[in-house]
Structures are given as structure tokens and as C-alpha cells.
Chain A
Amino acid sequence: FLGAGGGNDIQWCFSQVKGAVDDDVAEADIISTVEFNHSGELLATGDKGGRVVIFQQEQENKTQPHSRGEYNVYSTFQSHEPEFDYLKSLEIEEKINKIRWLPQKNAAQFLLSTNDKTIKLWKISERDKRPEGYNLKEEDGRYRDPTTVTTLRVPVFRPMDLMVEASPRRIFANAHTYHINSISINSDYETYLSADDLRINLWHLEITDRSFNIVDIKPANMEELTEVITAAEFHPNSCSTFVYSSSKGTIRLCDMRASALCDRHSKLFEEPEDPSNRSFFSEIISSISDVKFSHSGRYMMTRDYLSVKIWDLNMENRPVETYQVHEYLRSKLCSLYENDCIFDKFECCWNGSDRQVGFLPLCTSDYSLIVMTGSYNNFFRMFDRNTKRDITLEASRENNKPRTVLKPRKVCASGKRKKDEISVDSLDFNKKILHTAWHPKENIIAVATTNNLYIFQDKMN
């Protein structure tokens, strides 16, 4: 279905699933973020229990050239612990809200992980050699009796079983009064931003005792508070440009060169409301839960409760494309408000640069052509900007035959339900896919259900 004409459709197949099979989900195991690193070799997940699990892709198997490497556990570590804020008498959750990888500069890998209040820079390094042949120590560490030393030798490195170590290199704390929802690394690879409900701060990766406040939307009188920041991201190429989205469905683009405090946006993206769809829930469903720049930075994509919108940075007054994720929920908004599902924050992501997706006339340097986002009942959706076709797939253990193409799903909004369709009322609203990620270079996707991580790949040949 997906491709730039020529029938280069991607057919998604189940590859792997990680996590407990148990129906009884332990709260700490709930996945809260998923992110590939820049090469796609590593896939990180964060969970509600404050842990980070990193999977590594196996090297391509020479005997099976048509199968992409599997992901296996590479490292697991406790990134954040629960804390107690004594001033407010409240707990600070250890849940990992976001993980962002730094591009690799040397043998070690670095990532930023954040909970509600504190960001940490973690170094993940491998150790596969150890020194042996000390003069004054035995192999087990005991000191030798110096009188028994009759010759001198130079210690050498000998191979050992691979050990992957994670160590916190920087801790960026005490800069956020409100809950951090986003972190984004600048294209200069030296600075990054962190955004909470009301403020955005700029950090230098080397400096932990100082950060600069670049956006502050806190009103002088908190009773006047009607809007919060929901997501923020740096432009992929322009290191002075970033955007942030709000709970009122607006996106502001700011230029840090304009002033120290970017309270006045350079651009404001907002679609006028459709009067025919107006309801008491209009504002809530317009609240943007995620914003992602396209590869070139010419476009950006936003996710609100019912749709995904694609914006051209040169056009502020409306999106260039809108895709309905689950329009059949529009008539159920009251129930979804009642059970709080209306506040679920779905993320969205672009495809990677795999050639099979094709290149295209919209903007030749921008290969961001496919949008992926999650929904309920463990469904996730993809939209092809070229063909305008879309597909609904399900992340379920029942589909777990490798190399078998996933069967598209369909939700029946009303009226007679066809065979194989699922009616809206049978959807399981506890099974939500909030986090998805696309390998930067290959057609491999990671889809997180509540506590399981599914990996799907395209069927090669």
C-alpha cells in the first residue's frame, strides 16, 4: 500500500515481541517511551518503573541475507528512582517520559532520559577486554607477596565476555517546577531543550548547574491559566529554531536569535475551528499531544486526539494535510471524557529513509512520506502522503507468525458490521498504543502496547 507509485508497497510482518505474556500488567512495566538511536542499531524503551531497556540489532546474518537482524536485550538499568518533594508533600514519579539519543561520537553511546523533574545523561559503554598479568596482584585481585616476584612483565589486555555498562554522566536537576513533557537535542549537538507545562529551558550538555529559560507562559496570576505547553522540538537543521505546541491546538515557532526569552513567537500555526463540529469537547480534542519535524524540517506533524496534521512551515493558517486516525470516536467523546481516555497522549512518527518508501515530488530532499500513530484496541495506523491511502494494523500476539503479512483491520463505525470488522463498542480502550518508533534507515517499526514491545518489519522480496 505504501510507496511512491511503481507498486512498492510495504507489507508489514511480525518480527518479535518483548515483555510479559501475562494479562495482569504490573504497573512498573508499563512502557512510557520508545526510541531508536541514530543508526537504528539500538532501540531504547523507558517504563513507569524508571527503567531503561536497550535492545541491540544483531548483525545481518550471512546465511539469511533476506532477514533483518533481530533485537535482543543489550543493557538494562534503573534510570530514575521515585523521589519525594518535601516542599509540596508529593511524590515525584520515576516514570521515564522521554528518551533521546545523542549521535555517536566514539565507542560509547549516550542518551538523555527524563522523568517529570530531572534529566539524566547516560553513557552506555562496552567492555570486552580486561587487563591481565599484573606484577603485584593475582588474577583474583589478591596482592602477591613481593618477595615472590622474580621477574617483571607488562600486563596485557585479554578478551572477556562482553559487559555493557550504563553510568550517569550528567544530572540536570532543579530546573522545572512543572512536569517535563519533552526533551529535544539541538542540531549543534551541544545544547538541548527541556519543556514542562509552562516553561522551556535550554541546557548545555556539559553544564548541569545552569540552564536558560527561553519560554515562559506562566501567567502572573495563576487563576488566569488556560493554556499549557504540551510538546517541544528543535528544528532538525536550524539550531536557533524550535517549536512548541499547546493544549489549545496551536504551535508556535520561535527563533532564539530574536531575544533571550522567546515569549513572542515568530510564527503561530493554528487551524480555525470547524463550526459544524463544535462541542464542549472541541478544545480538549484539539490539544496537541506530539509534534515532530519532517526530515528536512520543511514540514512538521502534530497529533491531536482524533487526527494527525501536517503543516508546511511557510503556511501558518492551516495544515496542508489532515489524516483522521479514529473519527468514529467523535460521537463517543462524552464517554471518553468520563473515563479519561480523552486525555490520552498519542505520539506520532515519520518513516525512516529506506529507499523502498520512495522519493517524491513534494520536496525532493524530504523523504518523510509516511505517518504512523497509535489508537485503541492495540491498533496502529499509517498514512501515505503520496497515495493518500491508509492502513490499520494490530499489535497482538495472535498475529505472531514471522514473515506472515499482517492483516489490515477495520473498525465499523455504525450500521451493519461486515465480517472481520470490529464495532466501535467492542474496542478495548484499555489497550492503547501511545508510543511508536520507526527505524531511521530501514522499514522496521517498534510499537509499544501497554507492557509489550512489538517489532515489525517489511517483507523483503
Chain B
Amino acid sequence: MFVRGLKRKCFDGEEDIEGTLAGIKAIPSYNLQRQSLLDMSLVKLQLCHMLVEPNLCRSVLIANTVRQIQEEMTQDGTWQMINTQSTGQASLDRLVSTDILCRSSRDQAEGKHGPAYGTFSKDFESDQAQDSSETMSTASSVQAPRNLQSNVWEMENPQENKGNFQKSLDQIFETLENKSPNSVEDLFSEVDNSYYDLDTMLTGMMSNSKMGHCDSLETFSSPTNTASNSNCKSDLNDLDHIVEILVES
């Protein structure tokens, strides 16, 4: 069971730590706890390391938690405050630290699936197509023309995927920098398939993950069509570049 305290940041230095027993960390401020929870939740939504579709219930519950925190922070005014305080660099650091935090606990509880909210929101767009292709003769209406359109969108645009990939990455950082109060809604819109590839490979590259993300990604790409193969390769090149930036900072 975890007996760990939350990370202390330098602006929390007002806490009086004299007189506390060795090994017991001071209780962090409410704001700090809340921020930490927000970061953890965002990472949980983003992390996905799987070939299996994520648990929608879990994703929805985490997303609701994020919204809740966001609403409270907006009312508090702390939302704006953090926006002005942190630099791009600091928020990247925070991304990395909570990532490591969650990854270590994930290693402990192996077999648990993080939600692929990339796939989660991909569902939003593509399930219009899913409904009609997968559901046979249900009482609800059939949407055949839309089916065709979405399929085309799904399978044919490696170039577009690459562009979206970069855009998705920007969105992660943007969220943490809290550029707009509506960032949670932004998170859910327009994020596509390759988005979760980034995170899979990001976490795989940052450590020797027991889950073997890279392995699973390799087996994933091999039997299917060549379009997705080249997609992964170009993503990998982008990824190298991004990882370099993150690691150097």
C-alpha cells in the first residue's frame, strides 16, 4: 500500500516542517493536491498501451473528475493563476513526473488497462460508422451513406494522420498550460488514432516497460495493411525527435 506523500513544490515552502518526525512528509496544500490529481487524471486519460479497446466507464469517470477539478479551479480563480505562473518548460516537467508516477504504479498493478482516450474520442467519430456496419437489423435506423464516408476517412490518410499526430501532441501540452478553460472539451475533439501510438511508444521508450509496448506495437503493425505500417514508421521518426526534446529539458 502506498505510504507516499505528494511531491512538494517550491512555492509550498510555507509549510512548517520542523518538528515532524523523520520520514513523514508534511501534508501538501489543497491546491497542490488538486493540481496533482488533475495531472494524474490527464495522464491516465492519455496513457494507453494497448491493442484492446479501453474501458469506456473508466475513461468517462476520469474525464468527469478532470471536469470537476477544472470547474472548481475556474471558480477559485486558480485556473488563471497557474496559466500565468508556469512556463512551457515547467509544465513539460510536470507531464514527465506524473507519467513516471503513474507508470510505476501501473507496473505494480500489471494487467490493468489505461484508457486510450485517443481511441475513446476516435470512437466518437467512427462509431457512426460502427453502428451500421456492426449492428445487424436492429430497430434503430441504418446510416449507410455516412458509413462509407467515415471509412474513407479512417483508412486512407497517412499524411493527414501525420499532421494530426503533431496537432495531438500540441494538445497535450496545451492542456497543461491551460491556455483556455475549455481545454477539456478540446481534449475530446479531433484526436485520432495515431495519438495513442505516441503515448504507447513514449512510455515504452522512456523506460524498460515490462509490458513491452514496443513489442506489442510491432506485432500490431505487421499483419495489417501497408498503409498503417508506413504510418507507424513516420510516427516513430517524429517520436524520436520529440523524445529528444523532452529528455534534454
Give the interface of A toward B (CB within 8 A): 27, 30, 85-93, 116, 174-179, 197-198, 201, 209-213, 216, 222-223, 225-228, 230, 247, 260-261, 280-281, 283-284, 287, 332, 334-335, 337-341, 343, 424-427, 429-430
- When distances are taken between beta carbons in the complex, the residues of chain B under 8 Å from A227 are 60
Residue interface mask B57-93, A partner, CB < 8 A = 1: 1101101110011000000000000000000000000
Question: Can you name the residue of chain B whose Cβ is closest to the Cβ of A246?
Answer: B57
| Cβ distance A177 to chain B, nearest Cβ, rounded Å | 5
| Cβ distance B227 to chain A, nearest Cβ, rounded Å | 11
**B135 interface residue (CB < 8 Å to A):** yes
- When distances are taken between beta carbons in the complex, the residues of chain B under 8 Å from A89 are 193, 220, 224, 228
B77-132, CB < 8 A from A: 101-102, 105-106, 108-109, 111-112, 114, 119, 121-124, 126-127, 129-131
Give the interface of B toward A (CB within 8 A): 1-3, 33-34, 37, 40, 51-53, 55-58, 60-61, 63-65, 68-69, 101-102, 105-106, 108-109, 111-112, 114, 119, 121-124, 126-127, 129-131, 133-140, 151, 154, 185, 188-189, 193, 220, 224, 228
Question: Can you name the residue of chain A whose Cβ is closest to the Cβ of B134?
Answer: A174
Report whether B135 and A177 are in contact in the complex, using a CB–CB cutoff of 8 Å.
Answer: yes
Contact of B124 among A223, A338, A426 (CB under 8 A): A223
Report whether A280 and B68 are in contact in the complex, using a CB–CB cutoff of 8 Å.
Answer: yes
Q: Which 3 A-B pairs have the closest CB atoms?
A: A222-B124, A335-B2, A425-B1
- When distances are taken between beta carbons in the complex, the residues of chain B under 8 Å from A430 are 108-109
Report whether B64 and A283 are in contact in the complex, using a CB–CB cutoff of 8 Å.
Answer: yes
Question: Can you name the residue of chain A whose Cβ is closest to the Cβ of B3?
Answer: A425
A-B contact list, 7 entries, CB within 8 Å: A89-B193, A174-B136, A223-B124, A227-B60, A247-B60, A338-B101, A340-B112
| A332→B2 CA distance, assembly (Å) | 9
Residues A284 and B61 in contact in the complex (CB < 8 Å), given A88-B119, A209-B137, A212-B139: yes
- When distances are taken between beta carbons in the complex, the residues of chain B under 8 Å from A280 are 34, 37, 65, 68-69
| A23→B243 CA distance, assembly (Å) | 37
| A280→B126 CA distance, assembly (Å) | 31
- When distances are taken between beta carbons in the complex, the residues of chain B under 8 Å from A93 are 52
Residues A260 and B130 in contact in the complex (CB < 8 Å), given A27-B111, A88-B53, A226-B64: no
B interface, by DSSP: helix, strand, loop or mixed? helix
Report whether B224 and A339 are in contact in the complex, using a CB–CB cutoff of 8 Å.
Answer: no
Report whether B139 and A90 are in contact in the complex, using a CB–CB cutoff of 8 Å.
Answer: no
- When distances are taken between beta carbons in the complex, the residues of chain A under 8 Å from B3 are 425
Residues A230 and B57 in contact in the complex (CB < 8 Å), given A90-B51, A201-B138: yes
Contact of A334 among B37, B108, B119, B123 (CB under 8 A): B37
| A222→B124 CA distance, assembly (Å) | 5
- When distances are taken between beta carbons in the complex, the residues of chain B under 8 Å from A92 are 52-53
Question: Can you name the residue of chain B whose Cβ is closest to the Cβ of A226?
Answer: B64
| A431→B71 CA distance, assembly (Å) | 36
- When distances are taken between beta carbons in the complex, the residues of chain A under 8 Å from B112 are 339-340
Report whether A213 and B140 are in contact in the complex, using a CB–CB cutoff of 8 Å.
Answer: yes
Report whether A338 and B55 are in contact in the complex, using a CB–CB cutoff of 8 Å.
Answer: no
| A116→B134 CA distance, assembly (Å) | 13
| A339→B112 CA distance, assembly (Å) | 9
| Cβ distance A352 to chain B, nearest Cβ, rounded Å | 30
| A87→B122 CA distance, assembly (Å) | 12
Report whether B185 and A179 are in contact in the complex, using a CB–CB cutoff of 8 Å.
Answer: no
Report whether A339 and B108 are in contact in the complex, using a CB–CB cutoff of 8 Å.
Answer: yes
Question: Can you name the residue of chain A whose Cβ is closest to the Cβ of B150?
Answer: A87
- When distances are taken between beta carbons in the complex, the residues of chain A under 8 Å from B105 are 338-340
- When distances are taken between beta carbons in the complex, the residues of chain A under 8 Å from B228 are 89
| Cβ distance A380 to chain B, nearest Cβ, rounded Å | 19
Contact of A281 among B34, B65, B111 (CB under 8 A): B65
Residues A90 and B53 in contact in the complex (CB < 8 Å), given A213-B140, A427-B1: yes
Question: Can you name the residue of chain A whose Cβ is closest to the Cβ of B33?
Answer: A334
- When distances are taken between beta carbons in the complex, the residues of chain B under 8 Å from A197 are 56-57
- When distances are taken between beta carbons in the complex, the residues of chain B under 8 Å from A210 are 136-138
- When distances are taken between beta carbons in the complex, the residues of chain A under 8 Å from B114 are 340
Question: Can you name the residue of chain B whose Cβ is closest to the Cβ of A211?
Answer: B138
Question: Can you name the residue of chain B whose Cβ is closest to the Cβ of A260?
Answer: B139
Contact of A175 among B126, B135, B224 (CB under 8 A): B135
- When distances are taken between beta carbons in the complex, the residues of chain A under 8 Å from B56 are 178-179, 197-198, 228
Report whether B138 and A90 are in contact in the complex, using a CB–CB cutoff of 8 Å.
Answer: no
- When distances are taken between beta carbons in the complex, the residues of chain A under 8 Å from B68 are 280, 283
Report whether B102 and A338 are in contact in the complex, using a CB–CB cutoff of 8 Å.
Answer: yes
| Cβ distance B232 to chain A, nearest Cβ, rounded Å | 11
| A88→B114 CA distance, assembly (Å) | 18
| A377→B116 CA distance, assembly (Å) | 29
- When distances are taken between beta carbons in the complex, the residues of chain A under 8 Å from B63 are 226
Residues A339 and B57 in contact in the complex (CB < 8 Å), given A201-B138, A223-B124: no
